[in-house]
Amino acid sequence: MPEDRKIIINGDMLDDSCVVNNVHARDLQIEELSSCLVPCLNGKKPIHAWLFGRPGTGKTLVARHVLRRFSSERALAGIYVNCWERNSYYSVLDELVSELRILGAEKLNTSFKLERLRRFLGSRPFVIILDEIDQARRTERDSILYNLCRIVNVGLVCISNSAETLLSLDERVKSRLSARLIEFGPYSPGRLTEILRQRAEFALAPGSWDDALIAKIVQFAAGDARIAIRVLRNAALKAEADGSSSIDMKHVLAGEISAGDLRKETLLAKLSSHHRLLYELVRQRGEINSGELWDAYLDHCRAENKPTIALRTYSEYMNKLIELDLVRWDRALVRGKVRTFKAT
């Protein structure tokens, strides 16, 4: 594409995970979370916080923005951990000690790592953001929160889709955590317009978009910033592919994505290639039983000359797809423990 036809000039701003300097429409939540970290200024333990709200409401953005601001202005240290990727007590602890570079080729058990972490931090205030904490199994979630709460002057910022995850914690953990609840509701059309306009100004070439375009995307997104940003990005890519110098409504319509489709896309992107292959095989067949799916999976891997997972791992992967509501199952009308799968 000729340079003068290029529409996207800063693709990072069209990534919904990008942490921007000016966070629109979340002043109240920023203030509430900041107040939880204020005790750090006097060398005291931060107040634990529980951020909750549906996807696309700015929870992660606000948490990372506030931590970055306190880190730069007030020298408060902290670490971000995604519990989708690190969904066990062991793996969360491993991420913390690895990021802080406080272990060499030493003992790997959790009690040793926890003690090393405690000694390294000493009495300094420290913040740990635990994003998607609801993705950890309940027992692992309890272990993560209970043990990290015991470290002197460590404050936890937990991010979840609902307050129900907090209420489901073991009573001992809930009592020790005593987290301040901070709710994130859907963005209003006006606020979402501000967010999307900011992204467009930094990401897109001047003259390639207008306010009418932004208004159309905001209407479609229904308060979900992730959807709005994703649709804008898709529309810009469609326009570039067409060789256009500006984004038209036809590009927006071609780039639209529903909340359900975005959720599936986001979840599948976080899973392994084997998870995605199994999901795609189920989706293509419409309905398939567990034995047929396993055979189809093996045939595909052989044809592509790819390594395969073990049968036990296959069962674990399918259970993960079911847990995430990407696949549903029913008991097959045959003898034995056979299940029938359907994509949601």
Residue 143 lies in a domain: yes
Whether 266 is in a domain gets the answer no
pTM, whole model, 2 decimals?
Answer: 0.81
> Are residues 204 and 309 both part of a single domain?
no
Instruction: Give residue 334's pLDDT.
Output: 58
Model confidence pLDDT, tens digit, residues 268-292: 888 889 999 999 999 999 899 988 9
What are the angstrom distances between the C-alpha of 219 and each of 191, 214, 222, 224?
Answer: 12, 9, 6, 10
* Same domain, residue pair 78 and 147: yes
Spell 181-207 as b/e; 16+ CB within 10 A means b: ebebebbeeebbbbbbebbbeebbbee
Residue (of 268, 284, 270, 274) closest to 325 by Cα position: 268
pLDDT value for 1: 45
In this predicted structure, what is the pLDDT of residue 262? 78
3-state secondary structure of 197: helix
Instruction: Give 249's Cβ-side CA count (13 Å radius).
Output: 6
Query: Any idea what the CATH number is for the domain that residue 135 is in?
Result: 3.40.50.300
Tell me, yes or no, whether 265 lies in a domain.
no
What local confidence, expressed as pLDDT, does residue 256 receive?
81
Q: Is residue 224 part of a domain?
A: yes
Q: Do 170 and 201 belong to one domain?
A: no
Q: Domain tally for the chain?
A: 3
Q: Is 21 contained in some domain?
A: no
Residue 264 lies in a domain: no
pLDDT in tens, the chain (344 residues): 445 568 999 999 998 888 887 887 899 999 999 999 999 988 899 999 999 998 889 999 999 999 999 998 777 899 999 998 888 999 999 999 999 988 655 667 899 889 999 999 999 999 999 999 998 889 999 999 999 999 999 999 999 988 999 999 999 999 999 999 999 999 999 999 999 999 999 999 999 999 999 999 998 888 889 889 999 999 999 999 999 999 999 998 887 887 678 778 888 888 889 999 999 999 999 899 988 999 999 999 999 999 999 999 999 899 889 988 899 988 766 555 678 999 98
Q: Give me the CATH number covering residue 339.
A: 1.10.10.10
Residues 200 and 165 in one domain: no
Last residue of a domain, which of 130, 159, 183?
Answer: 183
Do 142 and 277 sit in the same domain of this protein?
no
pLDDT of residue 10: 94
Look at residues 201, 211, 261 and name the one whose alpha carbon lies nearest to residue 231. 261
Q: Looking at residue 87, what is its pLDDT?
A: 87
Domain span holding position 198: 3-16+187-259
Does residue 130 share a domain with residue 45? yes
In a shared domain, residues 136 and 229: no
pLDDT tens column, 86-139: 889 999 999 999 999 886 556 678 998 899 999 999 999 999 999 999 988 899
Residue 243's CATH number: 1.10.8.60
Cα–Cα separations (whole angstroms), residue 85 to 130, 134, 270:
11, 12, 8
pLDDT at residue 182, rounded to an integer: 97
